[in-house]
Amino acid sequence: MKEVNTKTSKAWLFYVPPLAIGLYLLALCLFVMFSRLTYPYELEWMEGAMFQVVMRVVDGLPIYTTPSMDYVPPLYAPLYFYVAALATKVMGEGLPALRLVSLLASLGTVTCVGYAVWLLTRSRLSVLLSVCCWAALYALVGSYYDAARLDSLWAFWLTGASTCLITFSQQQKKIFLYLMVLLLLLAVFTKQTTLSMLPFFFLALWLFSDFRTAFLAGLTLSILIGAALCLLQWQTKGLFYFYTMEMARAHKFIQGVPMNFLHGDMLTGVPIYLGLCASFILMGKKTARQRCAWLSLFSGFFLMSLLSRWYSGGWINVLLAFHQLIVVISVAGFWLVVKSLSGVQSPWVRNTFLGLMSVLLTLNMARAWIHPNYFLPTEADRACGDSVVAVLKQAPGDRVCVSKHTYLAFLADKKSCAHEAWGIDVMNGSSHQFAEQLQQDVKQQLLSGHYSLLLLDNDRQFKDYDVHWNQLPYTATDVDCPTSAFFPKLLGPRPMHWLRYNGKSMDDQRSKERKLIGSQG
């Protein structure tokens, strides 16, 4: 017995390799997030779209309305926009307020992850390892933890709900059940794709507890979702369900994504994490019922992530919530394997297997190695943004159109057109009436000179509205910035071409290089 205790006491040595690299990645992750918090321009091209909706909430305008060239509603549920609007009123108008919401939500998420691991392991080293694994996955979700988008807040609600489920499964205190239902409700009305994993969540609750508890919790959540849906339908005259459900359902599936998700996101991205998840679910003193509960919870997040990646527009940021669950289960699995193998009598077998597992986890964490400079905006990026905003400010009138970067118009104290992402969703959506209405409005506004100045990324930007480059009565010139500067660090294009209204026909004065870039899109 004494010999086994000595072996067990040395188990901490196998935590050293993953913790060594993990602490470094944690420092880099936090450094990058705090360093770019106050960057005044977009880190990702959809940040401006989010901000445009947030400002409507701040100004007391409805989120869901009929689409026009000036504004098109989003396909997302509304909760994030109200939370971000509150942060905007406290911190001031701008993208930093939205990023602060994401940063705080991410810090709340890693707190939930650490607490969940503590509940499962009662190991401080495992809690520290879970925090390091959370940071190590920063790059594998495109460094979206702090982006001015809804993903981090959504992941916080879901991770909190999972933590409450784990706590309830161990302590059977109803307060955690109530909190779980509340957090799931908040998750649904932050990102409606949450609905796809709810049956798996309540199946896990049933297996952890009993049918009556799961049924009543599920019924309560269903009533709350139904009541909130009815209220939003009434307030928006039926447009809420149209945009968040009918329009979203009109998104097409992308070829190749199931295999890309399975091979790229999972087997190539987090293979050792997944192996440790399997170890936790299959090993230990769990009953078959408890194993099925964990498998159900994992399957729900897996299915939700697969469907989100499969739809058009589903980028790696949709993996954020699933990654948090993977961290919790895999670190608990690592602890369980270390604990189980520490009792093996043969030193060679014990140390070989534990050493190999430690090295493999360390290598999987190292796959997310980041270079801070790659994720941080440069002085050239900021200088280009400043020069673009200065030109927008000098434009005659109070309206300009920067359809892929609407936030730039806000910085120049101008009214902007609708964000292109939402507009294309309407054009590809389920309402032919809205699509035709928007198409006619775009044509009329562009061809009549409603906007004195356009700032475009490419020649085909209005092609989906049946407005082609040569039809635009504008004079086209180059944006005076290096072609390598001002790209969003996370994802997206950058503006390349100024178009000033001349009332006649297209007068293309761009350089040959920019013409080639513009034609390539």
**What is the structure's pLDDT at 2?**
41
Residue 385: Cβ-neighbour burial (10 angstroms; 0-12, 13-18, 19+): buried
Closest C-alpha among 413, 407, 419, 410 to residue 394:
413
3-state SS string for 133-158: HHHHCCHHHCCCCCCCCCHHHHHHHH
The CB density around residue 297, as the number of other CB atoms within 10 Å, is 25
Predicted local confidence at residue 282, as pLDDT? 92
Tokens coding 249: 């359902």
How many CA within 13 A on the CB side of residue 256? 2
Give residue 408's pLDDT.
Answer: 96
pLDDT for residue 521: 65
pLDDT value at position 393? 96
Query: What are the residue ranges in the chain where pLDDT is below 70?
Result: 1-9, 255-256, 521
- Give 211-218's long-range contacts (Cβ < 8 A, gap of 24+): 213/177, 217/177, 217/180, 217/181
For residue 475, give the nearest of 447, 453, 500, 454 by alpha carbon: 500
Confidence (pLDDT) at 260: 83
- pLDDT score, position 60: 95
Q: 28 with 370: CB under 8 angstroms?
A: yes
DSSP element (H, E) containing 51: helix 47-58
pLDDT in the model for residue 310: 86
SS3 letters for 443-508?
Answer: HHHHHCCCCCEEEECCCCCCHHHCCCHHHCCEEEEECCCCCCCCCCCCECCCCCEEEEECCCCCEE
Q: Which pLDDT does position 348 carry in this prediction?
A: 84
Q: Is 249 left (phi over 0), alpha (psi -120 to 50) or beta?
A: alpha
pTM of this prediction exceeds 0.85: yes
